[in-house]
Amino acid sequence: MHRWIIFVINLFYLYPDWPTLQATRHREKRSNTLSHLLQYTEKGLYCRQADVYIDPHRTVSRAVITHAHSDHARRGHKYYLAHHTSGPILRLRLGKNINLETVEYNQPVVINGVRISLHPAGHVVGSAQVRLEYEGEVWVVSGDYKTEPDGISQAFEPVRCHTFITESTFGLPIFQWQPQAQIFEEINAWWRRNQAAGKISLMMGYSLGKSQRLLHNIDYGIGKVFVHDTIWNVNAAIRQAGIALPEAIKVDRKPNREVYSGGLIIGPMSVFRSDWSIRLQPAVTATASGWMALRKMQRSRTTEYGFVLSDHADWPGLNAAIEATGATRVIVTHGYESALARHLTEKGCEAYEAHRFFRTGLLREAMPAEGTEWDE
């Protein structure tokens, strides 16, 4: 008997936080049960009650797609639901025969008692946050979003909810964007300078989002604006969705640089070192991306100039957006999860990194690998 008492006392010294450990385990276990409106499976974010996935990364039967960027909209799902202006872009990228239903913002679809609706995310044309409501409980999945209106995608609208799953691509205090008007003044000045020197201005930017934002906000009074094939096709799809875009001339597949002298050419990053862009040399090159805010990226960039222009929210934008949802619980995903979750926790908010909350290995490289198509 005496030995047993000593054994138990020893145990206590060895594992002083045993009771708390038990409590934590219990909490964690609970956090992935069906009581949650959304859970994380190997195919992606899943609502069991409605049997739908949001931006799944593996083939599923029913997928709600926040926007047409390739890391969110994948091929092979049986049934797609997206915003109607995403429709033509999704068909262009995933095939015209996909089984797609489109809705307007704020137009709910009810599946097995779950009310699902899309709300403007301000990220790119047709981008949406997904709101799910079931038995009075509301969850919102932000998808990618930005808070500054870009003039072309429908401006971000905060949606009140209990649980908000937010992206955090630029979730560090060092990311603070200048107003769009100021960035475009810099871009216009850069173009004018190159033009005065009789040079081509070659701007690299993502084909969906950044390119249209450039087209919409650039000063057409300066000169002729050209786009690469890929962007030209995306533009056509966007016009088909009913969004007006200023005209831009398609660059030939085998361009003769004399034709483009003094002009501005917009091309996707993927063609930067291709035959196409080599034929345009010597040109003054630039990249438009939020990552240009990092000195490291500035140094390692492949183009001569870098403009800090992002289609994601910066640090103040993320914080303002989160606060505006009034959410009592915030789950941070897609980027600098621990930094933002910690900051929110310090402010007294119940916040989690997604992979901890859902207890998965779900982790993403915060920074894109070189040569990838940045969707920011």
Residue 366 Cβ vs Zn ion, minimum distance, rounded to whole Å:
12
Query: Segment near Zn ion (CB under 5 A), from 15-23, 112-120, 136-144, 355-363?
Result: 136-144
Specify the residue, 133 or 144, whose C-beta has the smaller distance to Zn ion.
144
Terminal-residue alpha carbon distance, the chain: 67
Query: Cα–Cα distance between 156 and 110 in angstroms, integer?
Result: 23
Query: Cα–Cα distance between 246 and 266 in angstroms, integer?
Result: 13
Residue written as token pair 């103040």: 316
Specify the residue, 144 or 337, whose C-beta has the smaller distance to Zn ion.
144
Centroid of chain to Cα 176: 17
Q: What phi and psi, each to the nearest 5 degrees, are found at residue 13?
A: -70, -35
Query: Segment near Zn ion (CB under 5 A), from 52-60, 71-79, 147-155, 211-219?
Result: 71-79
**Token digits for 22?**
């038990």
Question: Which of 36, 62, 69, 77 forms a contact with Zn ion (CB under 5 A)?
Answer: 69
Query: Segment near Zn ion (CB under 5 A), from 64-72, 223-231, 238-246, 357-365?
Result: 64-72
Query: Cα–Cα distance between 211 and 15 in angstroms, integer?
Result: 58
Query: Cα–Cα distance between 364 and 351 in angstroms, integer?
Result: 18
Give the binding-site size for Zn ion (rule: CB under 5 A).
Answer: 4
Decide: is 375 part of the binding site for Zn ion (CB under 5 A): yes
Query: Segment near Zn ion (CB under 5 A), from 4-12, 138-146, 224-232, 265-273?
Result: 138-146
Query: Cα–Cα distance between 279 and 69 in angstroms, integer?
Result: 28
Neighbours of 271 (CB within 10 A): 18
Specify the residue, 143 or 223, whose C-beta has the smaller distance to Zn ion.
143
Query: Segment near Zn ion (CB under 5 A), from 66-74, 149-157, 216-224, 237-245?
Result: 66-74
Query: Cα–Cα distance between 314 and 318 in angstroms, integer?
Result: 6
Specify the residue, 133 or 353, whose C-beta has the smaller distance to Zn ion.
353
- Compose the 279-298 pattern: x for residues touching Zn ion by CB under 5 A, - for all others: --------------------
Decide: is 55 part of the binding site for Zn ion (CB under 5 A): no
Question: Which of 55, 133, 144, 353 forms a contact with Zn ion (CB under 5 A)?
Answer: 144
Q: What is Dmax (Cα atoms) for the chain?
A: 96
CB of 164 within 8 A of CB of 140?
A: yes
Residue 159 Cβ vs Zn ion, minimum distance, rounded to whole Å:
18
Residues that bind Zn ion (CB under 5 A): 69, 71, 144, 375
